[in-house]
Structure 1
Amino acid sequence: MPHLTKSLLAALLAALSFIFVATPVPTSAQDKEISVDAILNDPHAPIGGNPKGDITIVAFLDYNCPFCKQSAPELEKLVKADGRIRLVYKDWPILTPASFHGAQLALAAKHQGKYEQVHHALMAIPGRRIGKDAMTEAVQKSGIDVERLNGDLKQHGTEIQALLQRNLAQADALGLTGTPVYLIGPFKVSGALTYEQFRKAVADAREQGGQ
């Protein structure tokens, strides 16, 4: 299993053309061995787009992050238009306790094949610091099987908790400090990207050989 050494990690977090400025990797994060396979291929992480795409985007997100909400439809639009992007969702609930609740709901919905349906419903809630009740209501209105969702929350609760802990550990090791963060091929960018910025990032990643 490949690991990110200092040099590989630095390459992963390199500057992304003149549009974006990559954050320098803290020495403590560089010194940690991070499994590339764990970041890109966690078997429990939800996958969107084309599973066999030539470029992978890893998205660290929080359902109470206004910048995540702003860029979510832009990213969804690009993934659909491009057709060759593999999207890995990393639920990273760091802003409020309700963020953790939303992440649990979305990840539980994965067990009925509806992760993205719930993900988009949660991202579409306007405003910031959305409470648990508002998140639950949005999920209930998304058209999923609520009874099954509740059952999956109980049955897979330990698995969901473990996944969230892995996401947290990966974000910490990468030195991430806030949402959203996107690993696009060998590059790292953050903030509310537009469709054109996402498109440019993917094009630059492909020029570098993809990931």
Structure 2
Amino acid sequence: MKRILATSALALSIAAAPLAAFDLSSMSDEERAAFRAEVRAYLLDNPQVIMEAVAVLEERQAAAQAAGDVALVSSHADQIFNDGFSWVGGNPEGDITLVEFVDYRCGYCRKAHDEVAELVKSDGNIKLIVKEFPILGEASVASSRFAIAMKQLHGAEAYKQAHDALITMRKDPSDATLSKLATSLGFDGDAVIARMESEEVNAELAATQQLARALQISGTPTFVMKDELLRGYLPLENMRALVADKRG
């Protein structure tokens, strides 16, 4: 109910905005009262105007957001697409680059994981870049530290294995759990755990956090495709449609 009232009040102000051309201050009290009564009566008789006004406002806000995002992506393109440390998968020479900011404890990141993998695999011409962006607490940070440590110590394929395991892990990981995971993948668990708190891992996390702030990213998953920021989960078919649109 509060949202409806707030929306209605906002729509009323929008609907009445063109009337600002009239000098209401020059009206008498009786004229102002009559004018307001007419506006109120019109809106009560035509309540759809309220939602129409809100829809117009939302469209304008979305357009302004999109334009702002294009500028943000353009001004930070090198850090987004060529930071030199984020994991790269798919087709490295693909004509479309899809960047994902991910948090392993994020339910929508988990939901998007298989769909992004299917998109990249079925398309065959998409370059995928994954950026570690843990924002949901200590378990998120530990998971990202582990994934980065695996990449730094053992390379891209080891990172991919860790990434796939972490995104499906339901319980918050402990050092023992992560060490066991590294061992199960054929690596020295103690060495990976030791690497997690290194300056090298800190530097990657800090760089991505700084980039996310610059791009005004506050949630996961967030995607970047060419010049567009896609904030939140998108179903597979929507992603495919966007890829087709970007290819023109």
| Structure 1 length-normalised TM | 0.75
Aligned position for 2:114: 73
Verify: 1:112 aligned to 2:147, yes or no.
Answer: no
The 3 A distance-change label for structure 1 pair 47 and 187 is same
User: Which aligned pairs between 1:51-200 and structure 2 lie closer than 5 A?
Assistant: 51-110=92-151, 111-113=153-155, 114-126=158-170, 130-133=171-174, 136-137=177-178, 140=181, 143-147=184-188, 150-155=190-195, 157-200=198-241
Distance 1:25 1:76, change over 3 A: same
Return the letter of the residue paired with 1:117: Q
In structure 2, relative to structure 1, the CA distance for the partners of 1:34 and 1:135 (3 Å cut) is farther
Question: Relative to structure 1, is the Cα distance of residues 182 and 132 closer, same or farther in structure 2, using a 3 angstrom cutoff?
Answer: same
Q: Which runs of 5+ in 2 are unaligned?
A: 1-58
Alpha-carbon shift at residue 204 of structure 1 (Å): 1.4
The structural deviation recorded for 1:151 is 2.2
| Alignment: residue pair count | 183
1:32-52 CA deviation, whole Å, 9 max, x = no partner?
994311211111111111111
The secondary structure found in structure 1 opposite 2:139 is: helix
**What whole-Å deviation, never above 9, does each CA across 1:121-170 have from its counterpart, x for those lacking one?**
111124xxx422299359717842331x5425545721111111111011
**Which range moves more in the overlay, 111-120 or 77-86?**
111-120
Which structure ranks higher in relative contact order (CA pairs < 8 Å, sequence separation ≥ 6)? 1
Secondary structure in 1 matching 2:129: strand
Residue pairs, 1:34-53, within 5 angstroms: 34-53=75-94
Paired residue type of 2:166: L
Shift of 1:66: 0.3
Tell me the C-alpha RMSD between the 2 structures: 3.1
| Closer/same/farther in 2, CA of residues 91 and 139 from structure 1, 3 Å limit | farther
Q: Which amino acid aligns with 1:100?
A: V
Matched residue SS, 1:24: helix
Whether the 8 Å CA contact 2:146–2:178 is kept in 1: the answer is no
Q: What CA distance in whole angstroms lies between the structure 1 residues aligned with 2:242 and 2:167?
A: 22
Which 4+ runs in 1 deviate beyond 4 A? Answer: 30-34
Q: Tell me which amino acid in the other structure corresponds to 2:123.
A: D
Change in CA separation of 1:72 and 1:31 when aligned onto 2, cut-off 3 Å: closer
Partner-residue secondary structure (3-state), 1:140: helix
Report the residue type matching 1:167 in the other structure: T
* Contact 1:59-1:89 at 8 Å conserved across structures: yes
Inter-CA distance 75–196: structure 2 relative to 1 (3 Å threshold)? same
**Partner SS state of residue 132, structure 1:** coil
What TM-score comes out, normalization by structure 2 length? 0.65
Change (3 A) 1:85 1:142: farther
Deviation at 1:98, TM superposition (A): 0.8
Task: Tell me the secondary structure at the aligned position of residue 146 of structure 1.
Answer: coil
3-state DSSP of counterpart to 2:223: strand
